[in-house]
Structure 1
Amino acid sequence: MTDVERSVRGDAAGDPGARAAVVRAVLWLLVGVLAVRQVAVVLRRPPGERLTDLETWTGATGVLHIAGSLYDPGRFTGTPFAGLVLKPLTVSAEQALGVVWTFGSLLLVVLLGFVAVRALPAPVSRRTAFLAAPVAITLLMVSLPVRNTLHLGQTSILPVLLVLLACFAVRGERLPGVLTGVAAALQPAVLLFAALFWLTGRRRAAVGGGVTFVVCTALAWAMMPRDSWAYWVHHLAGAGLGERPDSLANQSLHGALLRFGLQGPLEIALFLVLAAVVVVLGLRRAARYARDGQLLLAVAVTGCVAVAVSPTAWQHQLLWVLLAVVGRVGTRASDRLVWPAVVVLVLTLPGKMLLPNVGVVLPVRDNVLLVAALAAACAVPFLSRTSPHWRQPVPTDYAKPVPARFAWVPLVPLWRRVLSRPNLLLELLLIRVVYSAYAKVRLAATAGRSAAEEHGRQIHSAEQWLHIDIEHWANHTVVGIPWLRDFFDYYYSTFHFIVPLAILGVLYVRRPSDYRWARTTIGFATVLALLGFWLYPLAPPRLMPGLGFIDTVHGVQDLDSPDFGALTAVTNQYAAMPSLHFGWSLWCGLVILLLAPKLWMKVLGLLHPLFTVSAIVATGNHWVLDAVGGGAVVAAGFGLTYVLAGPRRLQALPDAGRATDSGAGGRPEPEAGNDGDTGDDSGRPVVVAGPASSKA
């Protein structure tokens, strides 16, 4: 092995087993931190704001205390059997019950993680077996269903755990059926697992589950006849309990149809038809995966079916969707992370962070958890264990290793330079999530008007000392030339997002290897800019009192309540240093300068940062030094990418061949300076991302 390869792979960094042990210890530490945080978040809330569902049931005025039906106040959403089980808890003190309930729920989460890990389909690699438990428990801890369950004091973890125990932890046929029946008595849609048992040949377990469900329900009916009638008949198996069924919290087919405006017999008929289709397709797929040796995936698919066809599926009941992360999708190694990433993002982030507030995608955003459940149940083509790609997917082409830039700053081993383009869905999701996080941090990074104006006076004084305080002159000059003012107003408002996204799109299609380093560079620059927003809130010239600036974009400002148009409520008025308007435009100009094949393209690309810096100064939205700061973070972004990931020029490994399109049916990308040959006659390695040629 060459010295270069050692510097990239880090073979000298230590024993792999020791590194794995350190990683495992860090993951378990993360689990502990998350557990402490969850307990603290719940128990630090004042009474009345924590464990709200549990308090509604068992508190001093809870429905389990008062005489009459559980369902008269409309606050209890569980089955009569659940009410029967919870009745003894009403004698507990609220504080003690809250603590015990929260810790008990966390223990159930940990147990659920261990059981799920034991159920992973064989063969399981040694590294996976070593790290799977803390990773699984961490994902459970941060998932929306678990967080919602802990916050509300719900019981939704218990049915999932009972089903997993029935499928993986107990032997025989009788006890699995009993556990499944009890779970169904707590959450009726879980009775679908009896059908899964039947379809996979476990007939006694299926019958046992059905009988146990009937016995538990009959017991509750005998002891609480009025409540049982109210739940099963009056409220149609709980469909009318809790929040409005058309609220966004109800992520079932029934809730989605109601949100689409359907009502009455038509909605009920359509729901029954769609539910029947989902049940048939989902259970057939689940049975097939179970026979294939992927029983955990079969359980996840069945749970997703139960979520979709239940009249109500609240957020705390959607843990089944997270279990579908075990399914393997895609024949290429580069695609294997797409489905797990989608599931984790959907189950950990709210829909408004995943998709923009655009009318055409609102139906998907409002029903994103239901869409994920339906996809897992009926659509996603999970690989069979008999597939040749199950264990050995098509490998990813990597660039030839490069030496570290500095001996004391090793290249990041995970950033091996990939020659093919990344998965489009995963890229779009990550870009959306990163932008949402950027917007939230930008909005939160403010220290108030007084600090921002003081920093504005500091910047203004510094520019006067440097004799670059041209903002007032430029602003008033442009105001006196209407066509120039309109041009800069339009340029400032329009091209900030369009041009970077267009460049990334072109690079993704035409220059995938260049797309990766370009995307990484602008990402670093944006993160560094967020630090600037946080540490140095700055009032732009248009919001500085007494300096006479004119906001040409939005008109005269009330400095106590500045207006930034439609974005006023979702942007930070004092996130001016550094200027990402100029920073992103400079990134665009440099990328075009490096990659454009024609001179006129390079010149046109460099005009964009020139027009942008003129626009931000002339419209009164930035100081000149803001642009300097924007240039600094972009330079730092390029520098960090170079230091941590190596140079932009890539060389293919001798046995890797040419970089190919990772999208289906894509054609190989021509190497710079070649018309399709994989190398020259001298046998030298091919440069696949060097200086752009006329064919780029």
Structure 2
Amino acid sequence: MASPPRAGSRTVVALAALWLVAVLLAARQAAVVLRRPPERRFTDLASWIGDHGVLRARGSFYDTDQFTGTPFAGLVLKPLTAAAEHSLGIVWTFGTLLLVVALALVAARALPGPVSRRTGLLAAPVAVILAVLSLPVRNTFNLGQTSIIPVLLVLLACCLPRLAGGSGHAGGVLIGVAAALQPAVLLFVPLLWLTGRRRAAVTTGATFAALTALAWAAVPDDSWTYWVHHLAGAGLGDKPDSLANQSLHGLLLRIGLHGPVEVTLYLLLAAAVAVTGLRRAVRYARDGQPLLATAITGCVAVAVSPTAWQHQQLWLLLAVCGRVGKRRADRMVWPVLVVLVMTLTSRVLVPDNPVLGPVGDNAPLLAALAAACLVPFLSCRSAAWNRPTPTPFAEPQPGRFSWVPLLGFWRRPLNRPNLLLELMLIRVGYFVYSYIRGSAPDERSVAEHHGRQILGIEKFLHVDVEHGFNHFVAGVDWLTDGMNYYYGTFHFLVPLSLLGFLYLRRPATYRWARTALALATLLALIGFWAYPLAPPRLMPGHGFIDTANGPQDLDNPDYGALTELSNQYAAMPSLHIGWSLWCGVVIAMVAPKPWMKALGMLYPLLTFTVIVGTANHYVLDALGGATVVACGFAIQYALTGPGRQALAKLPGAREPSDAAEPLPAGR
């Protein structure tokens, strides 16, 4: 019998896989940029592009307001004027890629210790992956920005001072150059001063002043335009009140404040954020977390700058290194939140509605403010730093059926998961579900052909009851109205309510139940993609009645918002049946009384009646929905074992019975 793989070999496999993913993502990003037409590539460099695609040295940097860098940054880019645009594109893209890799490697090396050898090895490719996926880096690739360079220089000086040439003048020179490229970096001067690196602080200021003066001497008109006319670049790029400006100034303008009132409030808020954030940064720097201190100071810079465009928000990604929470179950909340904010658009993070929409629109700013002023990062001296409260796990249990293989890929946690983390994952999961369902093939001829196949099979099996029952429902007004309301409401209301109940009262059951639901939904997405199917109401020539929308021109149907947002040809399998059957099974397992169990199993039967009566699904669609749910439970069972545990083994058990999962005490 072969011996199980050693931990070292698993680490090697994981390391190789992560580096492969990092290389593929980096190559894909480079290919996306290089495949763009020249006029859509590096738009921030358009100020220098002249006739025949050759860069020109003459003219103002700010002729078009597209370039948002400092005059010194413009001088740094001017030596490229001898290159043709096509050659510049290749050199610039791969040069930016190398900078991203260098930044990720420096950040991984600067992680606060002690770090295990396995964590140290895996941190580098994970950092590269996160950096390449982040919106600031993708924006930098597309625009041709230099915003990665200041972050890299500051990291070298603040987190790896020995590598940067010592903690004195050499580090100050690096940060001074970074400040000349991105003036908000000057906020690191008080950080250096308050942490005892006063020579570096003085050198930073002197270097910034010298390079800025050099730019004034070389391009006085552009320097006046940037520093005076546009108030340190505040009038360049998009309008200051656009959503692209994720700063306090931009937020105040977006909520309708203008003039002296806005300026005064902005200065007061900026001062409060700067003082609070820098005090926290100093504390964590003295605590032995220079990377976190750098990230917090960078987040302060994002918040208090007059403008903070997307390519300047890379500081926030560095805050992923902060540890939050005394429970191990809470450790992933902050990193996941940062990664989601830095990699996904606002409409993915939260629904587009008047209440949550503004939160998504200002998510980077809110995250930067949280990192700078609010998030209670742990101290290295905290007892929970390396010893968080462990998550209770169920002991491995034999399966009820010996012929069913139990893979045992992971142990079953018994405590309640972190609510914020669950909500974030549910939201992102639902967006992915909606996107894939909406992107599945919806060619009408193929979907109608599959519909005729389904009708033929049902006729052969003598289960083609849809037409007669649909016409019966359509002839009874109260039945039509009730079924239409049921179809549009209960599909989400009942599963969400059940998940909420399980989370509060049956935390261990919640984990395996939501895993089975997620697996079933994933299998359903495969079905939507592999077998596009027109529902009965969209089958021409068969006489079905669309009880909710009425007669339709099938060449140009109109179902309101659903016309654009939902794929109407994704009927197989029916998730109305799938989700309702999941509810019925879970209720039957956790309900204490027989009548409750029977009521739970009645729900999928009512749902089946509704989807057929409203002509939204076939009988075989329901069979498909039941199949994916059965497969979801089966896969979950194989991965984690039996779902129910003996109450006597769980903390806070209320009675020695395994009829239901308890609520662990204190959780």
Structure 1 residues 688 and 200: CA distance shift in structure 2, 3 A: farther
Q: Distance in 2 between matches of 1:193 and 1:129?
A: 27
Residue 5 (structure 2) aligns with? 14
SS at 2:622 equivalent: helix
Structure 1 residues 83 and 64: CA distance shift in structure 2, 3 A: farther
Residue 124 (structure 2) aligns with? 133
Residue 200 (structure 1) aligns with? 195
Q: More displaced, 578-587 or 249-258?
A: 249-258
1:67 deviation in Å? 4.6
Residue 120 (structure 1) aligns with? 111
Structure 1 residues 407 and 92: CA distance shift in structure 2, 3 A: farther
Residue type matched to 2:18 in 1? L
Structure 1 residues 625 and 163: CA distance shift in structure 2, 3 A: same
1:625 to 620, 628, 632: 620
Indicate if the aligned counterparts of 1:471 and 1:617 stay in contact, CA closer than 8 A. yes
Q: Where does 1:129-168 land on structure 2 (aligned, <5 Å)?
A: 129-167=120-158, 168=160
Residue type matched to 2:492 in 1? F
1:403 deviation in Å? 4.3
1:607 deviation in Å? 2.2
Indicate if the aligned counterparts of 1:353 and 1:433 stay in contact, CA closer than 8 A. yes
Indicate if the aligned counterparts of 1:57 and 1:76 stay in contact, CA closer than 8 A. no
2:307 is the alignment partner of 1:312: yes
Residue 4 (structure 1) aligns with? none
1:489 deviation in Å? 0.7
2:233 is the alignment partner of 1:238: yes
1:68 deviation in Å? 4.2
% same residue: 64
Q: More displaced, 553-562 or 297-306?
A: 553-562
Q: Distance in 1 between matches of 2:168 and 2:59?
A: 39
Q: Distance in 2 between matches of 1:264 and 1:571?
A: 44
Residue 663 (structure 1) aligns with? none
Report the number of matched residues.
658
Indicate if the aligned counterparts of 2:247 and 2:305 stay in contact, CA closer than 8 A. yes
1:54 deviation in Å? 2.6
Q: More displaced, 562-571 or 217-226?
A: 562-571
Cα distance per residue 1:301-347 (max 9 Å; x no partner): 00000011111111111111111011110001111111111111111
Residue 88 (structure 2) aligns with? 97
1:183 deviation in Å? 0.4
Residue type matched to 1:119 in 2? A
Indicate if the aligned counterparts of 2:442 and 2:570 stay in contact, CA closer than 8 A. no
1:566 deviation in Å? 2.4
Residue 681 (structure 1) aligns with? none
Structure 1 residues 18 and 297: CA distance shift in structure 2, 3 A: same
1:177 to 172, 176, 182: 172
1:358 deviation in Å? 2.1
2:427 to 428, 432, 438: 432
What's the RMSD between the two structures over aligned residues? 2.0
1:82 to 73, 87, 90: 73
2:401 is the alignment partner of 1:421: no
1:478 deviation in Å? 0.8
2:28 is the alignment partner of 1:37: yes
SS at 1:359 equivalent: coil
2:69 is the alignment partner of 1:73: no
Residue type matched to 1:89 in 2? L
Residue 635 (structure 1) aligns with? 630
1:574 to 569, 575, 598: 569
Q: Where does 1:483-562 land on structure 2 (aligned, <5 Å)?
A: 483-562=478-557
Q: Distance in 2 between matches of 1:521 and 1:420?
A: 18
Q: Where does 1:194-593 land on structure 2 (aligned, <5 Å)?
A: 194-403=189-398, 411-413=407-409, 415-593=410-588
Q: Distance in 1 between matches of 2:268 and 2:340?
A: 30
Residue type matched to 1:411 in 2? L
1:127 deviation in Å? 1.2
Cα distance per residue 1:268-312 (max 9 Å; x no partner): 111111111100000000000000001100000000000111111
Q: Distance in 2 between matches of 1:128 and 1:60?
A: 51
Indicate if the aligned counterparts of 2:167 and 2:197 stay in contact, CA closer than 8 A. no
Q: Distance in 2 between matches of 1:617 and 1:519?
A: 27
Residue type matched to 2:567 in 1? N
Residue type matched to 1:138 in 2? I
1:567 deviation in Å? 2.1
Q: More displaced, 97-106 or 52-61?
A: 52-61
Structure 1 residues 551 and 218: CA distance shift in structure 2, 3 A: same
2:50 is the alignment partner of 1:54: no
Residue type matched to 1:30 in 2? V
Residue type matched to 2:621 in 1? D
Indicate if the aligned counterparts of 1:58 and 1:89 stay in contact, CA closer than 8 A. no
SS at 1:17 equivalent: helix
Q: Distance in 2 between matches of 1:317 and 1:688?
A: 55
Q: Distance in 2 between matches of 1:468 and 1:446?
A: 27
1:91 deviation in Å? 1.4
Q: More displaced, 208-217 or 558-567?
A: 558-567
Q: Distance in 1 between matches of 2:403 and 2:471?
A: 52
Residue type matched to 2:243 in 1? L
Unaligned stretches of 5+ residues in structure 1: 1-9, 660-667, 675-685
Q: Scaled by the length of structure 1, what TM-score is found?
A: 0.91
Structure 1 residues 571 and 456: CA distance shift in structure 2, 3 A: same
Cα distance per residue 1:494-539 (max 9 Å; x no partner): 1111100000000000000000011011101100000000000000
Indicate if the aligned counterparts of 1:399 and 1:651 stay in contact, CA closer than 8 A. no
SS at 1:48 equivalent: helix
SS at 1:565 equivalent: coil
SS at 2:39 equivalent: coil
1:60 deviation in Å? 4.0
1:407 deviation in Å? 8.8
Q: Distance in 2 between matches of 1:469 and 1:408?
A: 35
Q: Distance in 1 between matches of 2:408 and 2:242?
A: 46
1:51 deviation in Å? 2.1
Residue 662 (structure 1) aligns with? none
Cα distance per residue 1:62-81 (max 9 Å; x no partner): 99737543223212211011
Indicate if the aligned counterparts of 2:47 and 2:63 stay in contact, CA closer than 8 A. no
Q: Distance in 2 between matches of 1:287 and 1:64?
A: 44
Q: Distance in 2 between matches of 1:392 and 1:12?
A: 31
1:402 deviation in Å? 2.6
SS at 2:356 equivalent: helix
Residue 5 (structure 1) aligns with? none
1:150 deviation in Å? 1.0
Structure 1 residues 408 and 586: CA distance shift in structure 2, 3 A: closer
Q: Distance in 2 between matches of 1:154 and 1:611?
A: 58
Structure 1 residues 365 and 63: CA distance shift in structure 2, 3 A: farther
Structure 1 residues 40 and 403: CA distance shift in structure 2, 3 A: farther
Residue 683 (structure 1) aligns with? none
Indicate if the aligned counterparts of 1:409 and 1:644 stay in contact, CA closer than 8 A. no
Indicate if the aligned counterparts of 1:63 and 1:76 stay in contact, CA closer than 8 A. no
1:647 deviation in Å? 0.8
Q: Distance in 1 between matches of 2:38 and 2:85?
A: 9
Residue type matched to 1:25 in 2? A
Cα distance per residue 1:93-147 (max 9 Å; x no partner): 1111100111011111111111111211111112111211111111111111111
